[in-house]
Each structure stands twice: as structure tokens, then as C-alpha cells.
């Protein structure tokens, strides 16, 4: 290898440019040093798709390492704040809703709030007893004050933004700091006798050599699949949705007078609809299972959700597959983004998984070819664990439903569509509410802890472990109790002898202070970012 290693990223988009930007920030000191050479090759012919992205708070670390100013980033990407996900109609389809916020209070070193709430009348939603952010979100407050420091606020937050704008912003930012950008179609890869990629061939007949190759070519998997033949492990047995029909509604047509500081996930007949607001429009999409609803009927449900049943409303159908590569890193090639895996967007993990791939690569960056296998082994183990952690968590949203109004909702409750790990967790939590120690090793009574992956020097053969890298017991409680976990059991056992649910005093004080301390979300966006001061006009015919 050369003294300064050459990283070649094939594919742009959010995944490619997050990887290029983060490696440049972490390993090249934001471009001021030249420890590695980074080249990103982006096809000019790949259609660009922006459906409105939502993120999780880990993005703050990524933006900070890259060296991005938060206000500049939000202005450039049409960004708004996200404090929570609000789930509507997931339990009974009777208008019920609950939040999964980013912030909650813990009363002390021993947290018994979950157990106490399970044994109570449940007359107040659980998250409202431990988190002020649920109410703060519902009253449409920003998580920051007008003069808040970058990436710092009283409440944890992430963003909604335009994915195309984000990729464009990172392109400009990174190329100004030394990342080499080539617009060309990559045709294939050249592989040596040891199975390492040595270069990629471009459409014009030239080739680009490198030491490390990152595949960001989406589901196409130009390097990881077509060149290196790494298998795809499907999650379709547990996640039945495989398509999305998407559309957007501009505030030019109608501005409701507010911008929600949270993502809404509203259950439908065969899946759910996301609703993510930016500074100029709302992006909505219906994630659905094509075995249970036709494309035409899915489109009708999406438009009916808005109330704007217009045949000329522009929509687009996206096909996807859930799962992951058997290994994301093989030899000197690493798959990041959709080429490495995808789990449906219910908890906003698309951007997160691209971030994680880039962060782990920077942490495990090999000094030479001899270190590749050692770094790949650990990288694959951590990333694989995180995929299965996310799979279990998303799977839980579906299987806890009590809906029986459609075949889809009856099917997702069946044991064969619940992962073995999740079933073991739920069985264990029949005896106690979730706590931190539940994620130490994931060995539960009655759980088969046999080998689950084939023998491979770059893959840890032990079964995956949920180390709560993204969601800990508090997040599990948000979903479990939002879905009234073990509700019927406690009703039959204790009836009305149970006590009323109790709200923590910290939460009460924070909710009382919020209207004075935190501005309305759209006002913050207008005054700090210069968002257009949209005027609320009369609702068009057919709008709710």
C-alpha cells in the first residue's frame, strides 16, 4: 500500500457523502491534514430521490466531527427540529396515540417508574409521566431557546430535512476541504488473486486505483454484491412492508399555522404513513406490504390521509427490501448505506446506519492490508449487532398491536413473524419491566443460544447481542407501555383497585416552564433561520 492510503467511495447520495465528509473530518482533521486521499465517484445518471428524511440525535456527533455549523446546515437543508415520533392508531385504530421522545427523566439510580405505571390505572400515558417532551412536542414548542448553543438544548433533538439538499451541502462542504469528486459511471471492479479490489473501471475506459473501497451504490451493490458476491440476509419474515408510495405538500398550497417538531407515524390498513415537516413542505409516505394492499389502493389511502383526494396529485412508488449483508466489510471493501442493509424507516434509522458505518470505519481504519481482517471482524460484529437490535425494536412496534380489522394487522401478531430474540425479551418482561441490566448479554431463560452465522474469518459466529447501542430500556418502555403491554393482565388481576398514574414532579415543572422558555417551533425557524413567514390561509377544498 502507499504511505497515504487511498479511499475510493463508489456512489454519492447521503450515504456516500456522509462517509466522505466524516472520514475527512475524523482522519484528515477536517481537511487541514492529508493523512488519507478520499475520492468519491458519483454517477450522473442515477435518479435522485428525496422523500423527506428524519434522523436521530447521533447526527450531532457526525456534523460536529465534519465541522459543520448547525445554523448553516439547517438553512441549507430545509431542516426543522424533531423531538419525538408520535404513533397514531397502532393499538386499536380508534384514534389512540403515544410518543417515543428523545428525552425523559429518571427519578434516581433505581428507576421503578415503569413497574409502578404497569400496576396503576394507566389513566395517564406512561411517557407523559416521565417525559415533558411529549407535551412540549404536542404544544408545538422548539427544543431550543432563541440563543441556544449549537447542538445543545434543554431537550434532545434531531432533524427533519431534505435528503437531496443534505447530499448537495456535504458535496460542496467536502470538496472545498480536499475530497476529490468524480462524476462518472463505474462499470466494474478489478480484483487481485487474494480477492482484494485494486481499482474500478469507469465508462470512459479509465480506472481509479485505491486501497480501500466503499460501496455506496444502494441496493445495486456494485462492489459488495456484483464484484464480491456477498449474500443478502432478508428480514422480510419479520418486517412485512416492502414498498412506499410518497408525495409532498407545499406550504404554498396550504400552511396550517404551525410546523410539528416531531415525526408522525399513522397506522393504515397494511402499514403506516410518515409525516415529516420541513421549512417549505410536508413530506408524507405510506410504507406498506404489497401482499396485503395494491399499489393503487395504497395511493388512495395516502391521499385520503391528507384529505386531498386529487387524481392529479403527484406520487411515486419506491420498492425496497429489508435485511443486511452477511458481512458489510469483506477484504478491502465496505458497504455503507443501502448496499449494506436497510430496515424500514419507522424509527428513522436510514441516515443513522450510514452514519454508523462511517463512524465505525474511521474508528477501525486499517493501517495496512495485514490489519484488514482484524478490523473487518470487529466492524462486522458491531454493525451486525446493531442491525439485529434495530430489527427487534421495529418488529416490536407491530407485534404488540391489538388490531384485528385487516389481514395485515392480524398477520403481524403471529409468532412466526416475531424474532426469537424479541420473543425471549417479551417473555422475560412478563416478570419485570425493562431495566438497564437486561441488555448486558441477552441470555434469557429458555432462549436458544446456538450459533446463527456461518464460519467466516470476517464474521463472529456467535448469535447477535442487543447491546442497547441505539435504544435502551427507556425506549423499550416507551413502545411497550404506549402499546398497553400487559394491560389486560393487570386489569383482570387488580381491576379498579389500582392507583392513579403519577407524574414526576420534574415533568410537571418542565411542562409549566416550557411555554415561557421555549418558542413555538415555526417562530424559532423564522427568526433564527430566516424561514419564510408562511401565512395561514383558508383550507383548500378537501383538506382536513
The per-residue pLDDT for 450 is 65
Buried b (16+ CB within 10 A) or exposed e, 242-259: bbbbbbbbebeebbbeeb
Burial of 183 (0-12, 13-18, 19+ CB in 10 A): exposed
Q: Residues 6 or more apart from 348 whose CB is under 8 A from it? A: 53, 54, 55, 56, 82, 85, 158, 263
Q: Let me know whether 131 and 222 are in one domain.
A: no
- Between strands 271-277 and 263-268, the pairing is antiparallel
Residue 178 forms beta bridges with which residues?
Answer: none
Q: Are residues 330 and 315 in the same domain?
A: no
- Supply the pLDDT for residue 109: 81
In a domain, 436, yes or no: no
Is the model more confident about 466 or about 76?
Answer: 76
Q: What is the mean pLDDT of residues 33-58?
A: 90
What pLDDT score does 441 carry?
77
Q: How far apart are CA 427 and CA 425, in angstroms?
A: 5
pLDDT at residue 368 is higher than 50: yes
Cβ(199)–Cβ(207) below 8 Å: yes
Q: Does residue 65 belong to any structural domain of this protein?
A: yes
Rounded to whole angstroms, how far apart are CA atoms 158 and 79? Answer: 10
What's the rounded Cα separation, in Å, for the pair 188 and 221?
11
Q: Are 523 and 242 in contact (CB under 8 A)?
A: no
Residues 248 and 314 in one domain: yes
- Residue 452: inside a domain, yes or no? no
Helix (H, G, I), strand (E, B) or coil at 248: strand
Quote the number of domains for the chain: 2
**Judgement on whether residues 218 and 275 belong to the same structural domain of the protein:** no
What are the pLDDT digits (tens) for 124-150? 999 999 999 999 999 999 999 998 888
Domain that holds residue 520: 81-157+243-319+499-529
Parallel, antiparallel or unpaired: strands 158-161 and 53-54:
antiparallel
DSSP 337: G
Instruction: Determine the pLDDT at residue 410.
Output: 98
- The span from the CA of 9 to the CA of 21, in Å, is 11
Decide if 508 contacts 136 (C-beta within 8 A). Answer: no
Domain stop point among 358, 386, 414: 386
Q: Between vectors from CA 47 to CA 43 and to CA 52, what angle results, nearest 5°?
A: 120
- 291-310: pLDDT as tens digits: 999 999 999 999 999 886 66
Helix (H) or strand (E) holding 425: helix 420-428
CA angle in degrees (0–180, nearest 5) for 210-211-214: 80
195 and 252 belong to one structural domain: no
Distances (CA, A) of 5 to 35, 37, 171, 200, 224: 8, 6, 21, 16, 20
Domain boundary among 334, 364, 386: 386
Closest CA to 376 of 326, 323, 339: 326
Nearest to 20 by CA among 41, 2, 4: 41
Instruction: For residues 22 and 150, state if they share a domain.
Output: no
Q: How confident is the model at residue 446 (pLDDT cuts 50, 70, 90)?
A: confident
Do 264 and 288 belong together in one domain?
A: yes
Q: Assess whether pLDDT exceeds 60 at residue 453.
A: no
409 assigned to some structural domain: no
Query: And the C-alpha cell for 489?
Result: 393482565
pLDDT classification of 1: cutoffs 50, 70, 90: very low
Q: Is residue 342 in some structural domain?
A: yes
Do 366 and 514 share a structural domain? no
173 and 68 together in one domain: yes
* Residue at 524 is within a domain: yes
Shared-domain flag, residues 104 and 224: no
Of 362, 386, 410, the position where a domain reaches its end is 386
Helix, strand, or coil here: 42? strand
At 61-72, the pLDDT tens digits run: 999 999 999 999
For residue 295, give every residue at least 6 positions away whose Cβ sits within 8 Å of its Cβ, in sequence order, or none: 243, 245, 317
Average pLDDT over residues 86-112: 93
Q: DSSP class of residue 435?
A: -
What mean pLDDT comes out for the span 88-98?
97
Closest CA to 133 of 466, 514, 504: 514
- 302 and 336 in a single domain? The answer is no
Is 456 inside a domain boundary?
no
Identify whether residues 382 and 349 lie together within a single domain. yes
Q: What is the pTM of this model?
A: 0.95
Predicted local confidence at residue 149, as pLDDT: 83
Domain of 18: which CATH number? 3.50.50.60
Q: Is residue 15 part of a domain?
A: yes
Residue 340 pLDDT exceeds 80: yes
Amino acid at each position: 500500500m502507499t504511505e497515504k492510503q487511498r479511499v475510493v467511495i463508489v456512489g454519492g447520495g447521503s450515504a456516500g457523502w456522509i462517509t466522505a465528509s466524516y472520514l475527512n473530518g475524523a482522519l484528515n482533521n477536517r481537511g487541514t491534514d492529508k493523512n488519507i486521499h478520499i475520492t468519491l465517484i458519483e454517477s450522473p445518471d442515477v435518479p435522485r430521490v428525496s422523500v423527506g428524511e428524519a434522523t436521530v440525535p447521533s447526527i450531532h456527533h457526525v456534523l460536529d466531527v465534519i465541522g459543520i455549523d448547525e445554523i448553516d446546515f439547517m438553512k441549507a437543508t430545509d431542516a426543522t427540529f424533531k423531538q419525538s415520533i408520535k404513533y397514531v392508531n397502532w393499538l386499536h385504530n380508534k384514534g389512540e396515540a403515544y410518543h417515543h421522545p428523545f428525552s425523559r427523566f429518571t427519578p434516581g439510580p433505581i428507576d421503578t417508574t415503569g413497574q409502578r405505571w404497569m400496576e396503576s390505572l394507566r389513566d395517564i400515558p406512561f411517557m407523559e409521566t416521565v417525559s415533558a417532551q411529549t407535551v412540549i412536542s404536542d404544544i408545538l414548542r422548539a427544543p431550543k431557546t432563541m440563543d441556544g448553543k449549537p447542538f445543545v438544548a434543554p431537550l434532545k433533538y434531531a432533524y427533519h430535512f431534505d435528503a437531496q439538499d443534505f447530499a448537495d451541502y456535504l458535496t460542496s462542504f467536502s470538496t472545498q476541504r480536499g475530497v476529490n469528486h468524480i462524476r462518472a459511471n463505474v462499470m466494474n471492479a478489478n480484483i487481485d488473486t487474494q480477492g482484494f479490489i485494486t481499482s474500478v473501471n469507469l465508462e470512459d475506459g479509465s480506472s481509479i486505483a485505491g486501497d480501500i473501497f466503499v460501496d455506496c451504490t444502494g441496493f445495486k451493490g456494485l462492489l459488495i454484491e456484483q464484484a464480491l458476491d456477498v449474500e443478502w440476509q432478508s428480514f422480510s419474515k419479520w418486517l412485512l412492508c416492502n414498498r412506499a408510495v410518497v408525495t409532498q405538500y407545499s406550504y404554498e398550497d396550504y400552511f396550517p399555522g404551525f410546523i410539528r417538531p416531531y415525526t408522525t407515524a399513522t397506522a393504515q390498513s397494511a402499514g403506516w404513513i410518515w409525516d415529516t415537516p420541513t421549512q417549505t413542505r410536508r413530506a408524507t409516505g405510506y410504507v406498506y406490504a404489497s401482499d396485503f394492499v395494491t399499489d393503487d389502493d395504497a395511493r388512495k389511502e395516502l391521499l385520503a390521509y391528507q384529505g386531498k383526494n386529487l387524481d392529479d396529485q403527484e406520487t411515486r412508488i419506491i420498492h425496497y427490501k429489508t435485511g443486511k449483508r452477511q458481512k458489510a466489510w469483506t477484504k478491502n471493501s465496505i458497504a455503507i448505506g443501502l448496499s449494506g442493509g436497510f430496515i424500514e424507516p419507522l424509527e428513522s434509522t436510514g441516515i443513522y446506519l450510514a452514519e454508523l458505518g462511517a463512524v465505525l470505519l474511521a474508528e477501525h481504519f486499517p493501517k495496512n492490508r495485514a490489519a484488514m481482517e482484524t478490523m473487518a471482524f470487529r466492524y462486522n460484529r458491531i454493525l451486525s449487532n446493531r442491525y439485529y437490535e434495530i430489527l427487534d425494536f421495529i418488529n416490536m412496534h407491530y407485534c404488540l398491536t391489538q388490531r384485528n380489522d385487516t389481514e395485515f394487522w392480524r398477520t403481524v401478531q403471529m409468532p412466526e413473524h416475531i424474532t426469537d430474540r424479541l420473543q425471549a425479551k417479551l417473555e422475560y418482561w412478563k416478570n419485570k419491566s425493562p431495566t438497564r441490566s437486561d441488555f448486558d448479554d441477552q441470555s434469557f431463560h429458555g432462549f436458544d443460544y446456538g450459533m446463527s452465522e456461518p464460519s467466516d474469518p470476517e464474521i463472529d459466529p456467535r448469535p447477535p447481542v442487543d447491546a442497547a447501542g441505539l435504544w435502551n430500556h427507556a425506549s423499550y418502555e416507551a413502545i411497550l407501555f404506549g402499546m398497553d403491554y400487559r394491560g389486560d393482565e393487570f386489569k383482570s388481576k387488580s381491576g379498579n383497585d389500582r392507583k392513579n398514574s403519577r407524574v414526576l414532579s420534574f415533568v410537571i415543572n418542565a411542562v409549566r416552564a416550557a411555554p415561557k422558555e421555549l418558542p413555538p417551533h415555526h417562530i424559532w425557524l423564522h427568526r433564527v433561520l430566516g424561514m419564510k413567514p408562511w401565512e395561514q390561509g383558508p383550507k383548500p377544498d378537501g383538506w382536513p
